[in-house]
Amino acid sequence: MKTKLIALTFILVTIASFGQNETKQNSPIQKKQFSENTIYQLFPTQNYWTFIKLDTRNGKMWQVHFSISSDEYEGEIILNSDSLLMSDEVEVNGRFNLYPTNNIYNFILLDQINGKTYQVQWNSEKEKRFVSRIY
């Protein structure tokens, strides 16, 4: 009887904790906030202090650094100041999206309308930052 009670308790605790994990995963805080009207999005990097800001209409990007100390750098650095669209293409909110890679400094940028992809490399050193079309 005691063994059955322990087993039943284990099952109930497992079910209860599974439900809590589901709630946390589906909470609005955990979900990526995005709508068709979103022009700018922030993407975290594996560096705690660095994000990438993307203009989802045209592929322009900036490194965004924040700090909790007045001694550290805080600000935006241009990654790509030129639109990635051809002159006959139209800017559409949400057209571009960034995808992280396993490399801390690299992302893949996808034009979700025409399928073009770009390697995006952020870095603190200017000569190591670039956006390059993947053919």
- Domain around 52: 40-134
Q: pLDDT of 35-46, one tens digit each?
A: 667 899 999 999
pLDDT, the chain, mean? 82
Q: Could you give the number of structural domains in the chain?
A: 1
116 occurs within a structural domain: yes
20 occurs within a structural domain: no
What is the percent of the chain with per-residue pLDDT over 90, rounded to a whole number? Answer: 67
pLDDT at residue 5, as a whole number: 44
17 occurs within a structural domain: no
pTM of the model as a whole = 0.72
Q: What is the dihedral of CA 65, 67, 71, 77, to 10 degrees?
A: 10
Q: pLDDT of 52-64, one tens digit each?
A: 999 999 999 999 9
Q: Is the pLDDT of residue 70 over 50?
A: yes
What φ, ψ does residue 83 adopt, rounded to 5°?
Answer: -65, 140
